[in-house]
C-alpha cells in the first residue's frame, strides 16, 4: 500500500465562529484561531480543517457564500487569513479549507444576475424551471425545506435549492460555471493551502429530468446523479492533480461500492470521503450496526480507497452525548470513543472540544437556537398544528447547535471564549469541562488524545494495518485486530455502562502482550488474560 502524507494525518476541525473571539463581538474569528495554534500543535494534530470563512450573509453559518474571494468580516481579513496560513505552516501543520460549490448565497452577484431576467448571460448558471400546473416542477424536498424549488416572482420561474431557499444550486452542466469554480480553487491553492474539504460534493450533478420521487421524504435523490464522476474527474485534471494537496469529499447517501467510485485510487477523483452511514443510521449507539458498517467499508476499501473516521462534527451532536455517556462515565466513554476512532482504518477527525469531552446542550427555548435547519424544521412542524414544546423536545437531541456552542477554554465567564455576548449560549457545564482543567491533569481526556495522536505518528500499523473484527454479534464488546507486516495489535473496547467479561481469543492464547494504551490507569503493562472489563474500558495491546 502506497504511503502518502495525507493518509497519515489526524485532522482537527475548527468551527471558527465558536472557537475563540478576540475582538469582543461574541463571534469567534481568525485572530482566535491564530491565538490557539500552539494549543493545537500541542495536541499534535497535523491538519486543520477550517469551516467556511468566505464572505457570506451567514444564513447557514458561512455555507451560503456571496464572494469566494473575500474573507467574511466577522472572521477577519485576508491579511489575517494569510497570517493564519503562515503560522499554521511554521508549526509544521497544514490547513485545508471548506469548498462550497454545490450552491452559493442567493445574494451572490452571480445569482442576482441570474434571477434578473430570463435572458441574462448568467441565467443558466443556476437551475430554473417552469412550474407544473401551478405547482413546483417536482415533489422533491430539500435538506432544509418542504420543497427543493422556490418560486421567483421576477421572472416567473422556480429555482432549485438542495438546502435552504437562500442557497440556490449552481448549474454544473454549464461550462462557464465549472471554469469559474476551477479558477477560484486555483486562487486558494496558489496561496498555498493544503487541500479542501468539499461540501456536499456528490450533489453537484442534477438529473436531466426532474421526475417525481416515490418517497419524497427520502432525499437521497439529491445525490449521486449521472455526470457527477465526470465533473470530479475534470476538476481533478484541471486543478487538483497539479498540487500536492488532500481532498476529502462530503459524500452522503452512498454504500461502500458507490463510495469507492469517488475515492478509488485509480479513479482520479478524490482522496477520501466522509460517508454518513453511522450518523444517518444510528441516532444512538448501535454496536451491531456499527460493526457491520465498519466491516463492509473495510472489505470494499482496503487496498483500494481511503476512508475517514468521525462520530461528530458541526452538523452532528457531540459524540460523548450521542454515542457514549455524558454523565457518570463521561471521561471513560470519551476516551473509549477516541480509542476506537484512532484505531479503526481511516483518517481520524477531531471536532473542536471533543478532545476535552464537551457535551451536547438542551436549551430551554427555541429562542436559544440559531441553526437554520432547526428553525425551518421547527416552523414546518409547528405549522402543522403540533405543540411547540413537543416539537422542540423531538428535535433537540440531534439539533446541529449541540456541537456549535462555544469552545470551553477555562472557568471564567463565557468559558474564556469571549469578553462580549456569545452569538450562541455557552454550555453551562464549562465550569467543570474546559481545556485549562484538562491540561492540568495527566489523566485527562486531552492528555489521552495527545497520546493517541502521537502513537499514530510512530506506528504505521494504526494507519495501514488490515482490520479484522473478532467480536461479531457481541452487543457490548468490540474486539478487533490491526495487522501490519509482523505486527498485530488487539483493540478491546467495552462499550457498556456495566462490567463485561472478556476472554482472550484462542488465537492469541499464550502470546506475549504489551499494553499500548488504556483508559483505566491500573492495567498491567505486560500480559493479557481473561478479565472483567469495567464500564467503557478500552485497551490496546501489541501482540508478539
Known catalytic residues?
199, 250
Among 15, 54, 143, 417, binds ligand TEU (CB under 6 A): 143
**Residue 249 binds to ligand TEU (criterion: CB under 6 A):** no
Question: Smallest distance, Å, CB 27 to Ca ion?
Answer: 4
d(CA 39, CA 410): 13
d(CA 114, CA 125): 7
Task: Tell me how many residues contact Ca ion (CB under 5 A).
Answer: 5
Among 32, 252, 256, 345, binds ligand TEU (CB under 6 A): 252
Long-range contact set of residues 179-186: C-beta below 8 Å, sequence gap at least 24 = 180/110, 181/101, 181/235, 182/235, 182/238, 182/239, 184/68, 184/69, 185/99, 185/235, 185/239, 185/240, 186/239
CA diameter of the chain: 78
Q: Which residues contact 215 (CB under 8 A, 6 or more apart)?
A: none
Q: Which does 27 bind (CB under 5 to 8 A by kind): Ca ion, ligand TEU, none?
A: Ca ion
CB 404 within 8 A of CB 314: yes
Question: Smallest distance, Å, CB 32 to Ca ion?
Answer: 7
Q: Which does 350 bind (CB under 5 to 8 A by kind): ligand TEU, Ca ion, none?
A: none
Q: Distances in Å between the alpha carbon of 316 and those of 131, 344, 429?
A: 35, 20, 19
d(CA 184, CA 262): 22
Q: Which does 25 bind (CB under 5 to 8 A by kind): ligand TEU, Ca ion, none?
A: Ca ion
Question: Smallest distance, Å, CB 540 to Ca ion?
Answer: 40
When the beta carbons of 51 and 427 are compared against ligand TEU, the nearer one is 51
When the beta carbons of 279 and 452 are compared against ligand TEU, the nearer one is 279
Among 279, 320, 356, 462, binds ligand TEU (CB under 6 A): 279
**Residue 472 binds to ligand TEU (criterion: CB under 6 A):** no
d(CA 323, CA 424): 24
Among 212, 280, 389, 443, binds ligand TEU (CB under 6 A): 280
Q: Which does 252 bind (CB under 5 to 8 A by kind): ligand TEU, Ca ion, none?
A: ligand TEU
Q: Distances in Å between the alpha carbon of 61 and those of 27, 64, 184, 224?
A: 11, 7, 20, 25
**Residue 55 binds to ligand TEU (criterion: CB under 6 A):** no
**Residue 446 binds to ligand TEU (criterion: CB under 6 A):** no
Question: Smallest distance, Å, CB 63 to ligand TEU?
Answer: 3
For every residue of 465-478, DSSP letters joined together read -EEEES-TT-SSEE
Question: Smallest distance, Å, CB 16 to ligand TEU?
Answer: 13
Question: Smallest distance, Å, CB 413 to ligand TEU?
Answer: 28
Q: Which stretch binds ligand TEU (CB under 6 A): 168-176, 274-282, 300-308, 388-396?
A: 274-282
Task: Give the per-residue SS3 of 413-448.
Answer: HHHHCCCCCCCCCCCHHHHCCCHHHHHHCCCCHHHH
**Residue 77 binds to Ca ion (criterion: CB under 5 A):** no
Q: Which stretch binds Ca ion (CB under 5 A): 20-28, 151-159, 189-197, 486-494?
A: 20-28
Cell numbers that stand for 498 in this block: 456495566
Q: Distances in Å between the alpha carbon of 251 and those of 45, 50, 72, 259, 372?
A: 24, 18, 26, 8, 21
**Residue 49 binds to ligand TEU (criterion: CB under 6 A):** no
| CA distance from start to end of the chain | 23
How many other CB atoms are there within 10 angstroms of residue 163's CB atom?
A: 26
**Residue 163 binds to ligand TEU (criterion: CB under 6 A):** yes
Question: Smallest distance, Å, CB 42 to Ca ion?
Answer: 23
Interface map 27-46 toward Ca ion (x if CB under 5 A): x-x-----------------
Q: Which does 311 bind (CB under 5 to 8 A by kind): Ca ion, ligand TEU, none?
A: none
Question: Smallest distance, Å, CB 73 to Ca ion?
Answer: 10
d(CA 212, CA 305): 34
Strand, helix or coil at 260? Answer: helix
Task: Tell me how many residues contact ligand TEU (CB under 6 A).
Answer: 14
d(CA 109, CA 314): 28
**Residue 60 binds to ligand TEU (criterion: CB under 6 A):** yes
When the beta carbons of 256 and 422 are compared against Ca ion, the nearer one is 422
Question: Which positions from 99 through 128 interact with ligand TEU, judged by CB under 6 A?
Answer: 100
Helix, strand, coil in percent for the chain, rounding step 5: 35, 20, 45
Residues that bind Ca ion in the complex, under the rule CB under 5 A: 21, 23, 25, 27, 29
Which positions touch ligand TEU (CB under 6 A)? 60, 63, 100, 143, 163, 199-200, 250, 252, 276, 279-280, 314-315
Amino acid at each position: 500500500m502506497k504511503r502518502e502524507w495525507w493518509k497519515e494525518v489526524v485532522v482537527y476541525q475548527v468551527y471558527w465562529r465558536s472557537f475563540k473571539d478576540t475582538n469582543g463581538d461574541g463571534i469567534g474569528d481568525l485572530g482566535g484561531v491564530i491565538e490557539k495554534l500552539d494549543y493545537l500543535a500541542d495536541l499534535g494534530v497535523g491538519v486543520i480543517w477550517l469551516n467556511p470563512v468566505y464572505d457570506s450573509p451567514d444564513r447557514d453559518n458561512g455555507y451560503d457564500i456571496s464572494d469566494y474571494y473575500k474573507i467574511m468580516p466577522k472572521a477577519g481579513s485576508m491579511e489575517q487569513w494569510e497570517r493564519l496560513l503562515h503560522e499554521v505552516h511554521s508549526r509544521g501543520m497544514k490547513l485545508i479549507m471548506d469548498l462550497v460549490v454545490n450552491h452559493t448565497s442567493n445574494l451572490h452577484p452571480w445569482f442576482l444576475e441570474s434571477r434578473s431576467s430570463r435572458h441574462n448571460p448568467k441565467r443558466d448558471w443556476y437551475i430554473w424551471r417552469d412550474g407544473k400546473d401551478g405547482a413546483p416542477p417536482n415533489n422533491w424536498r430539500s435538506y432544509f425545506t418542504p420543497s427543493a424549488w422556490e418560486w421567483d416572482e421576477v421572472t416567473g420561474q422556480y429555482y432549485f435549492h438542495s438546502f435552504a431557499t437562500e442557497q440556490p444550486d449552481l448549474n454544473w452542466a454549464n461550462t462557464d460555471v465549472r471554469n469559474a469554480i476551477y479558477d477560484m480553487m486555483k486562487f486558494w491553492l496558489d496561496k498555498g493551502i493544503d487541500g479542501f474539504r468539499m461540501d456536499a460534493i456528490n450533489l453537484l450533478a442534477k438529473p436531466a429530468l426532474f421526475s417525481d420521487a416515490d418517497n419524497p421524504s427520502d432525499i437521497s435523490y439529491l445525490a449521486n446523479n449521472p455526470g457527477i464522476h465526470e465533473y470530479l474527474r475534470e476538476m481533478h485534471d484541471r486543478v487538483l492533480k497539479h498540487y500536492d494537496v488532500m481532498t476529502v469529499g462530503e459524500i452522503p447517501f452512498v454504500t461502500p461500492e458507490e463510495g469507492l467510485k469517488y475515492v478509488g485510487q485509480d479513479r482520479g477523483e478524490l482522496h477520501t470521503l466522509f460517508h454518513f452511514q453511522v450518523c444517518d443510521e444510528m441516532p444512538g449507539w448501535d454496536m451491531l450496526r456499527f460493526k457491520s458498517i465498519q466491516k463492509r467499508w473495510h472489505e470494499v476499501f482496503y487496498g483500494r480507497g481511503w476512508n475517514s473516521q468521525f462520530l461528530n462534527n458541526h452538523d452532528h451532536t457531540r459524540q460523548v452525548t450521542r454515542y457514549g455517556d455524558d454523565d457518570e462515565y463521561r471521561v471513560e466513554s470519551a476516551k473509549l470513543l477516541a480509542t476506537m476512532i484512532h484505531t479503526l482504518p481511516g483518517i481520524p477527525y477531531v471536532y473542536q472540544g471533543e478532545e476535552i469531552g464537551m457535551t451536547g446542550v438542551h436549551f430551554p427555548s427555541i429562542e436559544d437556537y440559531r441553526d437554520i435547519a432547526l428553525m425551518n424544521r421547527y416552523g414546518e412542524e409547528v405549522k402543522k398544528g403540533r405543540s411547540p414544546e413537543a416539537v422542540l423536545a423531538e428535535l433537540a437531541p440531534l439539533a446541529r447547535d449541540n456541537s456549535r456552542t462555544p469552545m470551553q477554554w477555562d472557568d471564567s465567564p463565557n468559558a474564556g471564549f469571549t469578553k462580549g455576548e456569545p452569538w450562541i449560549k455557552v454550555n453551562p457545564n464549562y465550569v467543570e469541562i474546559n481545556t485549562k482543567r484538562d491540561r492540568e491533569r495527566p489523566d485527562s481526556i486531552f492528555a489521552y488524545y495527545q497520546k493517541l495522536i502521537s502513537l499514530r505518528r510512530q506506528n504505521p500499523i494504526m494507519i495501514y494495518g488490515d482490520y479484522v473484527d473478532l467480536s461479531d454479534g457481541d452487543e457490548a464488546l468490540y474486539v478487533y485486530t490491526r495487522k501490519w507486516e509482523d505486527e498485530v495489535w488487539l483493540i478491546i473496547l467495552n462499550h457498556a455502562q456495566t462490567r463485561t467479561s472478556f476472554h482472550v481469543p484462542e488465537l492469541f492464547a499464550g502470546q506475549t502482550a504489551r499494553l499500548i494504551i488504556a483508559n483505566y490507569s491500573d492495567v498491567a503493562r505486560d500480559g493479557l488474560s481473561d478479565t472483567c472489563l469495567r464500564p467503557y474500558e478500552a485497551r490496546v495491546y501489541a501482540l508478539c
